Structure 1
Amino acid sequence: MAASSAMQSILASPLTRVVSNRSTRVNQFLIIPTNYVSPVPRNASMRVRCNAKKEQPESVTTSTPRSTPKVSTNFLDLFAFSGPAPERINGRLAMIGFVAAMVVELSSGEDVFAQISNGGIPWFLGTSIVLSLASLIPLFKGISVESKSEGVMTSDAEMWNGRFAMLGLVALALTEYVKGGTLI
């Protein structure tokens, strides 16, 4: 479009002249046969047409069931780098882990590393398996997370909470390592 406009402005400029008895337009910069460029008369109006469809506003009185957007159920698509499973599962595990680490630290006075070494690995593995399966079952059925989020509890809010929980766990472990003891 931009190239066409530039070409038409070059051809319509005062430097353009038509050579008599030949079917070419001559410009000081280029020679173009007229069968490639359609002549544009001066003061011609251009008509622009938009083919976009108008969105129909949803009526308040009619209640139609929402269609749930389907996601790919392919294993590699679900676990791709930008797929729906990895960050969501890691965020959910981080939220549970951060809350559990803080509760155990407040109740028993153990730091994160002591919690892991004193029997925390089986709890971590069990929780990871249960939450991963609970997160994957709807995805393998083709139900997207966005279709089930309304109001305050949206999928974006869950993603941000998971990201902050991941950062919180790393900050908690790093602070306790540098400090040499519990945070509280």
Structure 2
Amino acid sequence: MTTSFAMQSIILGSPVKLSQSRNGLNQFVPSCYLPRLHRSSHLRVKCMAEEGEKLDKSSTPLTDSAATVPKPTPAPFAKAKPSTNFSDIFSFSGPAPERINGRLAMIGFVAAIGVELANGADLSAQLSNGGLLWFLGSSALLTLASLIPLFQGVTVESKSDGIMSADAEIWNGRFAMLGLVALAFTEYVKGAGLFQV
């Protein structure tokens, strides 16, 4: 019975004083086993609806002090300034490598098909008859023209809109790279130009 009384008192969180134990001594069980919970009249719980949910109009406001607290306004997102560091621009996921290769491939594919249609010369003949110098010169010029805005902090996305978007340029460059490889492979297997019979 004494143990039952002590356990109930500990669960309720109040100090327990046992009158006598088996050996006849008074023993006290401290109340530090469970903290005493005091009810505070200053504690208020406020529930806010998620964005897009409607509040229940039948609920009553808590107090005037809760109504006077101004709502914090979210800070606007600051756009991160693009890096002009050489290693960031030429990193694997940087803005320069795929974009410059795509631009070179677009010009190279159109030039290769145009010269082949005009002269009938395949890709290897075009490169051996002075086309290699034209390729190197146009590659250097186009690479320099593409890098100058990147080192000044201008992004392609900030200058693109409508049909001429940055994503469209990337995809066109990828297709042009695939087209140049397919053109060279087809002419190698065929042994002649693409349009020669």
> Is the TM-score greater than 0.5?
yes
Amino acid of the structure 1 residue aligned with 2:136: L
Write the distance in 2 (CA, Å) between the matches of 1:68 and 1:97.
Answer: 36
1:168 is paired with a residue whose SS is helix
- Give the unaligned 5+ runs of structure 2: 1-6, 13-32, 36-44, 52-71
1:183 is paired with a residue whose SS is coil
Q: Is the 8 A contact 1:78 1:84 kept in 2?
A: yes
Write the distance in 2 (CA, Å) between the matches of 1:164 and 1:125.
Answer: 21
- Map 1:30-109 onto structure 2 (within 5 A): 47=47, 70-109=81-120
Based on CA coordinates, which of the two structures has the bigger radius of gyration?
A: 2
Bigger RCO (CA 8 Å, 6+ sep): 1
- Map 1:109-124 onto structure 2 (within 5 A): 109-124=120-135
Aligned to 2:154: 143
- Give the unaligned 5+ runs of structure 1: 1-18, 24-32, 36-44, 57-66
Shift of 1:77: 0.2
1:122-160 C-alpha deviation (Å, 9 max, x unpaired): 111101100000000000000000000011100100000
- How many residue pairs align between the two structures? 139
Aligned to 1:132: 143
- Pair 179,70 (structure 1): closer, same or farther in 2 beyond 3 Å: same
Aligned to 2:164: 153
Shift of 1:46: 9.6
TM-score by structure 1 length?
Answer: 0.66
Q: Which runs of 4+ in 1 moved over 3 A?
A: 45-56, 67-70
Structure 1 position 168 matched with structure 2 position 156:
no
